[in-house]
């Protein structure tokens, strides 16, 4: 059963994009919830770039591809697949630029604080959760996987386990490329915000709003990491982006990572954005540092097996989280 509500957040108020501070929140209650008095572990599912919480729960049909409603993905996990039941929480992180990446930003609003202080409190107050970090995990795909890494690796007292599915990583390989693809797509015009029909413009400005926001630089309030028209990389700005990159920031979060019950990094070996290299490098560095984790690869590309990987992550989280 899916329960829908709206959560108002002071942490999202006053964002420079003037996006709403009241957001959709969807909570999946596992089979048997209504007939019992049990308390349940909770898994927070973070949606990817290009969608919002409602679209993850009730995917729109585009005439070419069909995705099942999230309830049809989750029910089998706790039914025929025999996974111990959990509450699954789906907050909203969409912005006018595309996505808030589940980080704090004066441009987008503070999405990390929103989840930590508003969503978690609302869920624990209104549902029969086990309100302890050891019983609370976070997972997601792509930007959602990046968000799972960010939230748990910074806040182990809130989230006790993370599953990063094809998460944004290794920006020097993955993100630097799309910055130049974007400039190629608008050449010879200078960057000037979102371009209708140009998805790259959305990605560039959304990421910049998260990783290099600049409230003193209207009308877009971001610093882009590449100069126009020379194409020179602006190292100071790029370093701000890299501070969010899991293959870079793991080192400063070692103490937090060692507190977690479990870390899963899962990616398709044919990822269109080459994220498999980010996952491989992250796993290598965690292994060298002695951080316990599980690294898996599947035969998919970027997004082709998303719903299946949600199921895999939930099965894994059921083992990682304390259920009583």
**What is the CB neighbour count within 10 angstroms for residue 277?**
17
Residuewise pLDDT in 10s, the chain (324 residues): 999 999 999 999 999 999 999 999 999 999 999 988 999 999 999 999 999 999 999 998 776 667 889 999 999 999 999 999 999 999 999 999 999 999 999 999 999 999 999 999 999 999 999 999 999 999 999 999 999 999 999 999 999 999 999 999 999 999 999 999 999 999 999 999 999 999 999 999 999 999 999 999 999 999 999 999 999 999 999 999 999 999 999 999 999 999 999 999 999 999 999 999 999 999 999 999 999 999 999 999 988 889 999 999 999 999 999 987
Locate the domains of the chain by residue range. 2-169+246-320, 171-242
Q: What angle do CA 115, 151, 81 make, to 5 degrees?
A: 90
For 52-86, b/e burial (b = at least 16 CB within 10 A) is bbbbbbebeeeeeeebeebeebbbebbeeeebbbb
CATH number of the domain located at residue range(s) 2-169+246-320 in this protein: 3.40.50.1820
pTM over the 0.85 mark = yes
Judging by beta carbons within 10 Å of its beta carbon (0-12, 13-18, 19+), is residue 311 exposed, middle or buried?
middle
């Amino acid at each position: 059963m899916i329960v829908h509500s709206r959560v108002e957040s002071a942490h999202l108020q006053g964002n420079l994009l003037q996006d709403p501070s009241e957001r959709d929140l969807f909570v999946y209650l596992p089979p048997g919830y209504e007939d019992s008095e049990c308390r349940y572990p909770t898994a927070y599912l973070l949606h990817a770039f290009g969608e919002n919480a409602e679209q993850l729960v009730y995917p729109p049909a585009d005439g070419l591809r069909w995705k099942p409603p999230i309830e049809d993905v989750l029910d089998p996990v706790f039914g025929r697949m025999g996974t111990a039941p959990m509450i699954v929480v789906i907050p909203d992180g969409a912005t006018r630029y595309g996505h808030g990446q589940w980080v704090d930003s004066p441009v987008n609003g503070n999405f990390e604080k929103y989840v930590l202080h508003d969503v978690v409190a609302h869920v624990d107050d209104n549902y029969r959760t086990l309100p302890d970090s050891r019983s609370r995990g976070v997972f997601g795909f792509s930007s959602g996987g990046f968000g799972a890494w960010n939230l748990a690796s910074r806040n182990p007292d809130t989230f006790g386990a993370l599953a990063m599915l094809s998460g944004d990583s290794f920006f020097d390989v993955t993100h630097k490329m799309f910055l130049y693809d974007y400039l190629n797509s608008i050449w010879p015009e200078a960057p000037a915000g979102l371009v209708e029909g140009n998805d790259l413009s959305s990605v560039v400005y959304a990421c910049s709003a998260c990783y290099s926001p600049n409230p003193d630089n209207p009308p877009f309030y971001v610093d882009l990491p590449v100069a126009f028209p020379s194409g020179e990389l602006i190292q100071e700005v790029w370093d701000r982006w890299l501070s969010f990159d899991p293959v870079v920031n793991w080192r400063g979060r070692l103490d937090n990572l060692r507190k977690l019950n479990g870390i899963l990094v899962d990616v398709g070996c044919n990822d269109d954005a080459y994220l498999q290299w980010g996952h491989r490098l992250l796993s290598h560095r965690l292994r060298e540092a002695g951080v316990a984790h599980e690294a898996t690869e599947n035969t998919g590309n970027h997004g082709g097996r998303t719903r299946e990987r949600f199921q895999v992550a939930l099965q894994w989280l059921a083992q990682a989280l304390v259920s009583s």
